A and B are shown apart, each in its own frame.
Chain A
Amino acid sequence: MARTLTFKIFRYNPYAADSTPFLQEYKVEETQRMNLFAALNYIRDELDPTLMFDFVCRAGICGSCGMLINGRPTLACRTLTGDLPEVIELLPLPYFKMLGDLSVDTGIWFRQMEENVESWIHTQKEFDPAAEEERMNNELANKIYESERCIECGCCIAGCATANVNPDFVGAAGLYRVGRFMMDPRDERNEEQWFELISTDEGVFGCIGMMACGDVCPKDLPLLEIMAFVRRKMSATALTK
């Protein structure tokens, strides 16, 4: 039952003048319950110390290890080799800036997106350390948390047709973030302000409904539902203008 896996891994070092992109092959003996975190570390420790990739939590929580696994954007840490064929092709996520081999720069992109959608609670109120907290219905708290569960892995952006032709599109991750603040009563932005911010082709009207984001999201977030909520709100605002 033990298989010998063949990894075909994208190699390119943008900081080496003579580097050109190619696919490199590695052979790895599969072990019980092996995931790609274990496999890639094995390759780097035992076969090739030059291989570049990113892991942080290796538990599906931090969003660092998004890559194309046999053509599909997903998280490497929670992909079991047992669910894959013997030949496994690994490419970096498209769209993001290449840092080397399987490593791409998602951090800079997400910071820019967060500045663009102003990803924080807009409030005039000052915190009063002596006062009881403002009350909130527990169902609403859960709903807000649900729309805050994105881990910024970038899979939805890498898989998005619009983002790949319009680099300024905030994508599913950006619209999901907008939805999170839109439903939060602590955020005082009104519909007019939201409209100003996101009713553009880079915002809510950029999406052309291919829905790949929803297919590839490794956290199974209700991206389409939240995007529909945001779009409905903005369309309604447009009609009253």
Chain B
Amino acid sequence: MSNIYTSDVLIIGAGLAGERIAVAAAKEGLNVIILSLVPPKRSHSAAAQGGMQAALGNAAKGKGDNATLHWLDTVKGSDWGADQEVARIFADNSPIAMREMAHYGVPWNRVKGGPADYFIKGKKETVEEDPAKEGLITARAFGGTAKWRTCYTADGTGHSVLYTMDNMAIQLGVTVHDRMEALGLIHADGVCKGAVVRSLRNGSLSTYFARATVIATGGYGRIYGHSTNAVINEGTGVSIALETGIIPLGNMEAVQFHPTGIVPTDILVTEGCRGDGGYLLDVDEYRFMPDYEPEKQELASRDVVSRRMKEHMLKGKGVHSPYGDHLWLDLRHLGAKHLHTKLREVYDICKYFIGIDPITELVPVRPTQHYSMGGIRVNKDGHVYNMKGLFSAGEAACWDLHGFNRLGGNSLAETIVAGMVVGKRVTAFAKANPAEVSTTLARQFEEQQKKRIDALYNGSGRESLVEIKRDMAKILSDKVGIFRTGKGLEEAVTEFGKLIRRTDEIKVKSTIPGRNMELTEALKLKGMVKLGFCIAAGAEARKESRGAHTRDDFPARDDAGWLNRTLARWPEGAMQPELSYEPVGTIDMPPGDRGYGGGQMIPMSIPVEDYNATVDELQKKNGKHETAEPINTGLRPGLWKEEVK
């Protein structure tokens, strides 16, 4: 049998959420192993340019900000799909997490007292920054927020925070096994024991056992083909959870499109472009967003801006190109100095990847798949439904502060806030539960993976990996994209039914020893198709429009019938996912108007109190574990009422 590794905590994924949890556990003296597809500092967290939302209220335009306002924006942004208690834990802890990062070494941009020039809603404005706040963490504007509350380090927030976190992990002696891919979880009787892992150096298999296991593998945007995500964001962590047959994935149909992916490479340019005053223009170089959204303009939430862009292009106002229609992002008025400092990464991307100078030229952009609100369903502690000893955090998880649309800057902040909160729970769990190494289980679960590898090499199938991937991307982009129709979704479900069968017929042509990248891809393709199927099935079943999920046959948000969270399981041997539903969580602020995006609403048919009375029981029925008392938050219900007078 192959190598067996043991640790107190096993973390799959070395992005920000995984590393923050590793640091939490290592600080408590636990032995931690992180598995990563790539060296940790190359994780996709590094690519997040914009920032992290926290209600510090230091910037002049953030004056009077508080956690309740942050919470309000988050719940509205989610189109009431979020778990409002989780949103509160998040908003209350986010300022602490930012200050902690400052302590660990992140060079946050700071307040500079005195007059400062900004572009606000298309006009240059001089704002007096408070000299008393000089040197405290400052903030910039992001979409969907009442105050400026996005903390940043120039144009490289993700890079800075990830480097700081990884440096901490090195200081604390956290073991990293990079170029390793988890192929399956080891579990028995609803308890997770570890994972079977394949080396991406030499192709060998190993087993890892731990008291607590964490999945922090990020999103799965790559299944859409066109995505701003890194090429490693294929959802392997999420699909090995689904593969257990008992773990539910939450709200897989909630997929975010970012308004500004550049054409043709799909690389993201940050929301900071619009936050700092960039405009969206159409084929006539006309600024159209104020016509659709007079109040928020370019800075409405992402689902709304993406939809308006698509709507405008469908009216024939898009710019034609060999890579399809697009619109323009205009940054020219921000000036060379601004583009060379605060938006330098954007400048570099335009220059090096499409050969455009944004100081003098317009940038081709269109809405592009960007973020997966859905993921492994966890309770407030990050403990995975139906599986003891397994935790999840960050984009891989559905903790659920984002609901059906997440705000820019909330996901990067989530990684370290959830990392902090869930890290404590993981540590406590690992301390309270014994280590258990079973060679029988190791052999059994490793054998399953060996069989899969054998079938891919020696099967009689003729299907091509590349073609199945392309077909999947096409179904998702065409039929489960920004605008969805009943007919398109039905077709998507039928087509996924066929596609899932084809994945059993894949034959790997290249038999070279070592990592064999074709085999590596083939081993995860079926899991990716299953995730795509969950998205399509969830979207087809959800007969309403909410946040990023927009259907032309059900244009209203239906709080009478659909104020719930979709849960998708994949029972062993099934050919399609099995859907069930649970309440979104305990409701503090009842559903209302978001203040942007238009759209109709069907009100709740029962009083909020009645809804709330069933939450705990119905969630437990779906596999929720008992939840500990929240950390650093009073969960003060009703506080929001003082802010919306």
Contact = CB atoms under 8 A, between A and B. Distances in A.
A15 B137 CA distance: 50
A52 interface: yes
B510 A50 contact: yes
Interface stretch (A136-144, A191-199, A200-208, A229-237): A136-144
A56 B134 CA distance: 38
Nearest to B349: A59
B160 A145 contact: yes
Contact of A99 (B232, B466, B515): B515
Contacts of B516: 50
Contacts of B231: 55-58
Nearest to A132: B136
Given A111-B170, A133-B102, A49 B510 contact: yes
Given A55-B231, A148-B107, A13 B513 contact: yes
Contacts of A119: 167, 170
A57 B354 CA distance: 16
Interface string A118-130: 1111010101010
A135 B514 contact: no
A158 B625 CA distance: 51
B168 A33 contact: no
B630 interface: no
Nearest to A45: B466
Contacts, number: 192
B264 interface: yes
Q: Which of A51, A110, A129 has the most CB of B within 10 A?
A: A129
B412 to A, nearest CB: 14
A100 B100 CA distance: 40
Interface in B200-229: 201-203
Interface stretch (A1-9, A60-68, A159-167): A60-68
B512 A135 contact: no
Interface in B56-88: none
Interface in B502-520: 509-510, 512-518
B353 A14 contact: no
A20 interface: no
A129 B100 contact: yes
Most chain-B Cβ atoms within 10 A of its Cβ — which of A16, A49, A78, A121? A49
B38 interface: yes
Contact of B44 (A44, A56, A134): A56
A151 B46 CA distance: 9
Contact of A60 (B40, B163, B353): B353
Interface string B283-321: 000000000000000000000000000000000000000
Interface of B: 38-44, 46-47, 96, 98-100, 102-105, 107-112, 134-138, 153-154, 156, 159-160, 163, 167-168, 170-171, 176, 178-179, 201-203, 230-232, 264-265, 267-268, 322, 341, 345, 348-349, 352-355, 466, 509-510, 512-518, 632
11 contacts: A15-B202, A49-B509, A60-B353, A100-B515, A111-B39, A119-B170, A127-B100, A138-B110, A138-B112, A142-B341, A152-B41
